[in-house]
């Protein structure tokens, strides 16, 4: 399997994503925001960073980049797309995912480890994860508080589209574990078909024991398993 790692002006987690994907055998190519070609069988990754300096609003300018029309078509055709941190913000701004990411409740930048508890374990990104435990993923953001109106929150709950909630190592979802004030402790959500995932924590920073843990690889291995690749 191959991945296309998108690069916008201000993206800085592209190399991290390429390295993390290589740990499970996924080859990657970087795709500049002005390009428009994506292969049908590629995993498309929108990495973290500060696209366009976060001017206007996080992800609001990046959504108009030429590559985003291709991302839209890729998703509509059933292709796999994951947006991490700023990538999640871009997906919401592009209306590939509902809701928005706004200033942290503390109004401070947060850079810390968090535990993310899988809620949906049937999507291509989460089917290999254990819902009874938390996965250790770092966060690094100032605008990562997920918000949506009540009908959208109910829809996400009713259709099993909440992918991750902030919680504890033993799988409990608690208010104390919420690092940014996200509604319902939401750390990641899926689109209706389950082929697009947006999440604020950084699984690519949890890819080898040298970094403290390799929990993030569980997501990439789930993707491989979903397309029939044994790991």
- The answer to whether the CB of 126 falls within 8 A of the CB of 222 is yes
Given this model, what pLDDT does residue 204 score? 97
The residues annotated with a catalytic role in the active site are 85, 202, 204
Number of other CB atoms surrounding residue 109 within 10 Å: 13
pLDDT confidence of residue 51 = 96
List the beta bridge partners of residue 49.
Answer: 11
Could you list the pLDDT tens digit for every one of the 231 residues in the chain?
Answer: 999 999 999 999 999 999 999 999 999 999 999 999 999 999 999 999 999 998 888 999 999 999 999 999 999 999 999 999 999 999 999 999 999 999 999 999 999 999 999 999 999 999 989 999 999 999 999 999 999 999 999 999 999 999 999 999 999 999 999 999 999 999 999 999 999 999 999 999 999 988 889 999 999 999 999 988 765
> Residue 13 to residues 52, 152, 189: CA-CA distances in angstroms?
14, 30, 20
19-46: b (≥16 Cβ within 10 Å) or e: ebbeebebebebbebeeeebeeebbbbb
Q: Is-contact 125 82, C-beta < 8 A? A: yes
> What structural domains and CATH numbers belong to the chain?
2-226 (3.40.50.880)
């Amino acid at each position: 399997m191959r991945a296309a790692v998108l690069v916008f002006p201000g993206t800085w987690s592209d190399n991290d994503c390429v390295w993390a994907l290589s740990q499970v055998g996924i080859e990657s190519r970087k795709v500049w925001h002005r390009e428009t070609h994506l292969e049908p069988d590629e995993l498309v990754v929108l990495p973290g960073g500060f696209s366009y300096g976060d001017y206007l609003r996080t992800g609001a300018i990046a959504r108009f980049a030429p590559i985003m029309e291709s991302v839209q078509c890729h998703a509509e055709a059933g292709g796999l797309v994951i947006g991490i941190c700023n990538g999640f913000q871009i997906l919401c701004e592009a209306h590939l995912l509902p809701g928005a990411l706004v200033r942290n409740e503390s109004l401070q930048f947060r850079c810390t480890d968090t535990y993310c508890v899988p809620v949906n374990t049937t999507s291509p990104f989460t089917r290999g994860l254990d819902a009874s435990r938390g996965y250790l993923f770092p966060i690094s953001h100032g605008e990562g508080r997920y918000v949506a109106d009540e009908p959208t929150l109910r829809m996400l709950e009713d259709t099993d589209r909440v992918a991750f909630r902030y919680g504890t190592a033993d799988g409990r979802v608690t208010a104390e574990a919420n690092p940014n004030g996200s509604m319902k402790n939401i750390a990641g959500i899926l689109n209706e078909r389950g082929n697009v995932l947006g999440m604020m924590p950084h699984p690519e920073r949890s890819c080898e024991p040298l970094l403290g843990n390799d929990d993030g690889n569980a997501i990439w291995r789930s993707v491989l398993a979903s397309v029939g690749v044994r790991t």
